[in-house]
Structures are given as C-alpha cells and as structure tokens.
Structure 1
Amino acid sequence: MKQVIILFAAMLAGVFNANAQTMDHKEPIKKIEVTGSAEQEVLPDKVFISISLKEYQKDSKNKVDILVLEQQLQKAIADAGLPKESLKVGDISGYREWFGKKKPTNFLESKNYVLTVENLSKIDGILNKVDEKGVASVGIDHFDYSKIEQLRKEVKIKALQAAKEKAKYLLEGIGEQLGEAIEIIEIDNGYIPQPMYANARMKVSAAMEDASQESTVDVQKIKVRFEIKASFKIK
C-alpha cells in the first residue's frame, strides 16, 4: 500500500514539474503601455450667492428691522423673475449694541441668506433694491454644475480613446499593429477646482453704486480633467 501511495505522489510531482516547465517557457506578451488625457470646461449653471443683512439704528430710538430688509430682498428677487425658493436662510445672529458705559441699547439682528442663480447677470439689480445700509456683506459662496457626473464620464471616455489613439500611431511608426486592450487604469486626478471669481465678486460688491446696470462679468469655467493608463497587445 505504501508503495502505491509513493508512486502516486511521484506521478503528481511529475505533472506539477511538467506544468511549471511549460509555464516557464511561455512566450511573454508583446504589449504597449500609454497614458491618455482629456479635459473639458463648462460654465457653472448654479451660482450660490451669500447675502448678509443686518438691522441698524436710524437714530438713538429707531432702527430698521430685519423683516423690512428681508421683504426688500424678497421683492427684488421676485422682480428679477426668480422663484422665491431660490432664497434660503443660512444663518441668524445678533448682538447688543451699547451706547456709553452703563446701559445697553436695542438688540440688532443679522441674517445670512443663500441665493441660487444661474449666472451673475441679475445680482446688481437685486442688490440695488435693498437698503444699502442694511447689507452687511455679499459674496459668492460656491458653484455647481447640474450634469457634473455625466461630464466626468464623458471626459474619462475621451481620455481612454486618446490613450488608444496614442498607442496606435506609436506602433504604426515602427510597423506594428495595435491589438486588444489588456489593462485599463484610471488615474485619480479628476479634481474639479472651484473657478476663480475675483472679478465677479468685485462687480457684485460694486452693485450698490449703479442701479441702472446689470453685471456683465461671469464666473470662470469649471475644468474637468482625467488621465487613463492603458496597456494593449501588439499583434
């Protein structure tokens, strides 16, 4: 019985050794590895504007209420043709103003709003209809693009196509032909930086000065960029 087992083990070892030798003598795959890139720019279709309103004292006894300022802002937005849902309250705060050293005066409230618009063209006209003394600050909070996921997919496909085209013309240069894809690796560099908006912010801040004009300055485009590394067989 022991002899049978030893003989069977020897046969298995021979099979394994034969397979190993076959694998060792397998010809390496001829391949080419390249990197393709693609990028695309789009204008944001959503701009989120931060508007801060604050109550202020007309004199020692009277103040301009935050509700008055809020109603002015709401009416200006409606007059601009924007839906009321485009304005949201972001934050509420306040402080006690002191005159002299002993007695506090009225409590002054502040409200921060976020206004969503497609572009900056109507911001000037809106802000000019709000009491300028009640506007504490205005700025661009952030940007968005509603079809960003679809755009990312399209740019990735273009990057892969660019890699294939590069591999093809490189091989043609040495008389070789491109075969099927072996491996595709996505390089994680699809970061979308927020566009610069210094000029836009400057224009928004200057909106109080001229109610007759609308802003002609728009935000810069969002750039989406991807790189794809791909390996192809050489026929």
Structure 2
Amino acid sequence: MKTILLSAFLCSAVLFPSFAQTTLLKEASPRKIEVAGFAEMEVVPDEIYFSISLREYYEDEKNQKGKVIISTLEKQLIKAVADAGLSKEALSISGMGGYQNYVDKKKKPATFLESKQYELKIDRPDKLDVILSKIDSRGVQYANVARVDHSKKEDFKKQIKIDALKAAKDKAEYLLAALDQKLGQVLEIRELDENVFYPQPMLAKSNMRAFAQAESADMVQESDVQYQKIKISYRMQAAFEIN
C-alpha cells in the first residue's frame, strides 16, 4: 500500500510542474488584434501596344494591276513611326501571312497577296491616328489595342501595399480606442490578395479606308480623351499587440 501511494505522489509531482508550465505559457501569450487594410490606385497607361496588320493590294483591283507590295507599305509605316518621334524599338514584327485574291475565279487565276503583322508601342492612343494617316489606307488591314501597361507599375504596387498596411494600422487604432485600449507593436503582416485590372483590348479603327480622305497628318485631330485606366489594388492583413 505504501508503495502504491508513493508512486502516485511521484507521478503527481512530475505532472504538476508540466501543467503549471503550460498554464504560464498560455498566460504569457500577448493579447492581439488582427485587421485587414485595403488600398487601390488608378493610373492612365503610358505603354499602349497596338497590333497593326498591313497587306498587299492592287491599285486596279478589278483587273489586278498595279500591285503595291508589302515592303512599300512597311517603309511607309517605319517612316511614319520615325516622324512621330518614336524609336526603332517601338516597332517590331509579330507575324507574317497572306491570302488568295481574285475577282472572278472562272476568268482570273487566284493570286497570293502577302500580309505582315507588327506590334507598335506608344504612350498615347491618339498617336496611332497620326501614324496611320501617313500610310495608304488600302494597305492597312486592321489596328487593334493588344494590351496596355505602365512603366512604373511595380513602383505603384509597392506604394499601394504600404497604403493598405497603413489603412490596417489606422483601423486597429480606432477600434482599440473605442475600447480604451492602445495599439502595441506589430506581430504579423500578410498579403491577402492582389488585383490588377487592365482595360479590355479594343478595335482602334475597324475600317481603315476612313483615312483615305486624310491627305496629311495635320488633318488628324488629336483627342483629349484619356484611355481607360489600369486599376491596381491590394489587401493586407496585420496583427498588433494590445497594450
């Protein structure tokens, strides 16, 4: 009997300090508040990428005479880009192709007309009108906005994260103030999500023959209307100690 009681006593002596230590650890955990902050920014794109397609054509389409070749149209485009004050790097080839052209396949054999696609980087959409006005409109198949971006997008992202984190801190402060509590040091910071909205690609000019009446770039009116903005937003979560 004495042996059993002694064993029980020793077991209690071992377990009790462990239990006490666990209790002390729980009590030592800091009181905290977790909040999320949100911030967003809208910026006008300063990098607009147009997809332009040039294709060969005939001066006399009915009789298929006076063929204007793709190299002639390309020279017009390169010169127009240079006249607009853009660097050579602003224009690049993105694809090549062609199609069969004929007036009456019973009388005329089909002929192959070459086409060529380019990507043009500009900072304002109205510059495209000026450039395309210097190219024979019959040689321009289409011009679409392929994508947009901003040269300082990464800098904007950093600033928005900072603003979202500050918003989280402000929220924690006024919530604790309502309970007569004060904000302590930061315990944890986490990014919850990132959202970057890019304007949808749009057709710049669906019918390039509209430029046929423009004899010079002076006749093309520049627009004061801004392109749709890029929207960048962040949500940040932070945990703070309660003093």
Change (3 A) 1:75 1:16: farther
Within 5 Å, which residues of 2 pair with 1:18-57?
Answer: 18-25=17-24, 26-27=26-27, 29-57=30-58
| Aligned counterparts, 1:93-104, within 5 A | 93-98=97-102, 99-101=104-106, 104=109
Q: Report the counterpart of residue 178 of structure 1 in structure 2.
A: 183
**Residues 202 and 128 (structure 1 numbering): CA distance in 2 closer, same or farther, change over 3 Å?**
closer
The CA RMSD measured in Å over matched residues stands at 2.7
Please give the alpha-carbon distance, in whole angstroms, between the structure 2 residues aligned to 1:104 and 1:41: 55
Answer yes or no: is 1:226 the counterpart of 2:231: no
Deviations 1:168-207 (A, max 9, x none): 111112211001112222112x221112565x83699697
Aligned to 1:144: 149
Unpaired runs of 5+ residues, structure 2, are: 1-6
C-alpha deviations, 1:44-71, integer Å up to 9, x for none? 2211111110011223233111111111
**1:122 aligned partner, one-letter code:** K
Matched-pair contact (CA < 8 Å) for 1:203–1:215? no
Cα separation, 1, equivalents of 2:209 and 2:19: 78
Distance of 2:231 and 2:97 partners within structure 1: 36
Residues 39 and 160 in structure 2, CA contact (< 8 A), matched pair in contact too: yes
Change over 3 Å in CA distance of 1:152–1:206 after alignment to 2: farther
After TM superposition, the runs of 4+ consecutive aligned structure 1 residues lying more than 6 A away are 203-207
* Cα pair 1:45 1:119 within 8 Å, conserved: yes
Measure the CA separation in 2 of the matches of 1:155 and 1:127: 37
Return the letter of the residue paired with 1:38: A
Distance apart, 1:106 and its partner CA:
2.5
Q: Are 1:117 and 2:122 matched, yes or no?
A: yes
Q: Quick check: 1:167 aligned with 2:175? A: no
CA–CA separation in structure 2 for the residues paired with 1:79 and 1:160: 46
Q: Contact 1:196–1:219 (CA<8 Å) still a contact in 2?
A: no
Aligned length: 224
Taking structure 1 as the reference length, the TM-score comes to 0.84
Classify the secondary structure of the residue corresponding to 2:105.
Answer: coil
In the alignment, the residues of structure 2 paired with residue 215 and residue 196 of structure 1 have an alpha-carbon distance, to the nearest angstrom, of 22
Percent identity over the alignment is: 42
Q: What's the CA shift string for 1:27-54, capped at 9, x where partnerless?
A: 2532211111111122222111111100
CA contact (8 A) 1:152 1:224 kept: yes
Change (3 A) 1:147 1:203: farther
2:4 aligns with none
**Aligned equivalent of 1:214:** 221
Q: State whether structure 2 residue 84 is matched by structure 1 residue 83.
A: no
Q: Unmatched 5+ residue regions in structure 1?
A: 1-6
